[in-house]
């Protein structure tokens, strides 16, 4: 059984180009019914039929969690990636039918918090768009610090600053504006929770600084989905299903297993949730671990791999699948 694989058939109802890099896609249910509600921070996994390849990419839901008529995501074009975001930007039109998973939340608000301090970098703004709407309905106490490359690439900056002028702080890299993190964290009331979503460097910076200042680990929340990276093709023996499969240059190990009809569990497809953790039975070669689920010693042990983002180079790899 693959968790999180319940599906909803949708039709693209609107496409809005926000700037050079980011485009918003809006969905209605194809059957005309209402979407399930969700919690701010949830993502959905989109199925893209790209020729012979089925791509499954996670994107944060950024619409109002209470709005059951429309789901929205925003996709940043990644010209270097394997093509999921390019497919969305280049091949998808209004009226197209696609398939979404039910919402899954791995970046939930801690509703005990007296205050929610949100720190976003670039496209990392998307989960906060939904969380802010959720908190506004509940009269929650929040504050956003949002770093963008430039005014031209500041997705949703105008919307956020016009509706919440006192709670939203914008920083433009090209104007040398930077979050004064130490002072920001120092001035927070007791019971504040920190949420950070953005590039890995930003997440590490915020987590590191918070730890240094003595913040409890439980009060610091982050979400970083990795996109699987291309790599050299390799061969894998799947012991349980008794198959030998080839993982192509442009696909992940998880995608190759799915292509061969091997049922492999997943939720985030980005190295974060742990759902696809797979035992290694034997190997001769080296792992390219890219997840942030397994601990360092587990990476070194050669006993586990996260097939959503990690790869292998060498002679043989045998997995317990």
Partner 1 sequence: MTIQFNEETFRDDYTFKNSDWAIKRFPFPFHEDSYMYAVNMEQHRGGPDGSVYEKRFDVDEHYVAEMKDRAMVLNDDPLRCQSLPHMTLAGWDLLELIMVSKSEDYPDLFELHRDGDQWHWINKPLGIDDKFTFMDETTLPYGPMEYITRQTQGDFCVLDQRDDNLWMDAGIVTTQADWSLDFDIGMNFFEWHAPVPLAHEKGIFVRALKFLLNIQQGSPARRLNWTMTVNPLLDTSPENYHKWGVQKTTLTPENIGEKQHLRVELQTFFRLPRSNALVFPIRCYLCSFQDLMTVPKWGRRLHRVIRDLPVELATYKGFIDNRPMMLDYLSKFDDGKPTSDGIWPDLETEPALEK
Report how far residue 287's alpha carbon sits from residue 283's, in angstroms, rounded to the nearest whole number.
Answer: 9
What is the bridge-based pairing of β-strands 7-17 and 97-101? antiparallel
Fill in the DSSP letter of residue 276: T
Q: Which residues here bind partner 1, judged by CB under 8 A?
A: 1, 3-4, 6, 36-39, 41-42, 65-66, 102-105, 108, 110-112, 134, 137-138, 218, 267, 275
Q: Find the helix or strand (DSSP H, E) in which 43 lies.
A: strand 42-50
CB 303 → partner 1: shortest distance, Å? 17
Work out the end-to-end distance of the chain between its first and last CA atoms, rounded to an integer number of angstroms: 13
Residue 315: CB minimum distance to partner 1, A: 33
Residue 133 or 303 with smaller CB distance to partner 1: 133
The nearer residue to partner 1, 18 or 219, going by C-beta atoms, is 219
Instruction: Compute the least distance from the CB of residue 201 to partner 1, in Å.
Output: 24
Please tell me the distance from the alpha carbon of residue 226 to that of residue 258, in angstroms, as a whole number. Answer: 19
Measured from the CB of residue 31, what is the shortest distance to partner 1 in angstroms?
Answer: 14
Q: Of 100 and 157, which has the nearer Cβ to partner 1?
A: 100
Measured from the CB atom, the residue of 103 and 228 that comes closer to partner 1 is 103
**Toward partner 1, which CB reaches closer, 84 or 103?**
103
Q: Is the dihedral angle over the CA atoms 44, 47, 48, 52 positive or is it negative?
A: positive
Nearest distance, CB of residue 139 and partner 1, angstroms: 11
Contact 270, 252 (CB under 8 A): no
β-strand 7-17 against 71-76: which pairing, if any? unpaired
């Amino acid at each position: 059984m693959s968790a999180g694989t319940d599906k909803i058939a949708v039709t693209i109802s609107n496409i809005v180009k926000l700037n050079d890099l980011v485009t918003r896609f809006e969905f209605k249910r194809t059957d005309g019914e209402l979407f399930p509600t969700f919690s701010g921070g949830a993502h959905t996994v989109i199925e893209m039929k790209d020729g012979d390849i089925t791509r499954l990419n996670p994107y944060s839901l950024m619409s109002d969690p209470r709005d059951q008529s429309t789901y929205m995501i925003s996709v940043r074009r990644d010209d270097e990636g394997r093509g999921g975001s390019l497919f969305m930007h280049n091949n998808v039109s209004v009226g197209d039918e696609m398939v979404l998973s039910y919402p899954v939340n791995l970046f939930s608000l801690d509703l005990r918090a007296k205050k929610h301090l949100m720190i976003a970098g670039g496209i990392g703004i998307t989960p906060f768009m939904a969380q802010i709407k959720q908190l506004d309905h509940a009269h929650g106490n929040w504050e956003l610090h949002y770093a963008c490359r430039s005014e031209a690439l500041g997705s949703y900056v105008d919307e956020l600053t016009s509706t919440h002028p006192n709670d939203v702080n914008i920083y433009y890299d090209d104007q040398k504006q930077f979050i004064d993190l130490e002072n920001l964290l120092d001035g927070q009331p007791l019971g504040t929770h920190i949420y950070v979503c953005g590039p890995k460097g930003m997440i590490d910076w915020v987590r590191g600084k918070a730890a240094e200042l003595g913040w409890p680990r439980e009060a610091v929340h982050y979400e970083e989905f990795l996109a699987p990276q291309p790599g050299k093709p390799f061969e894998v023996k799947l012991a349980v299903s008794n198959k030998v499969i080839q993982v192509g240059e442009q696909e992940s190990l998880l995608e190759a297993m799915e292509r061969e009809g091997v049922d492999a569990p997943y939720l985030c497809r980005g190295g974060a949730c742990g759902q696809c953790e797979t035992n290694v039975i034997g190997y001769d070669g080296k792992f390219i671990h890219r997840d942030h689920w397994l601990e360092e010693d587990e990476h070194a042990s050669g006993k586990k791999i996260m097939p959503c983002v990690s790869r292998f180079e060498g002679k043989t790899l045998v997995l317990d699948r």
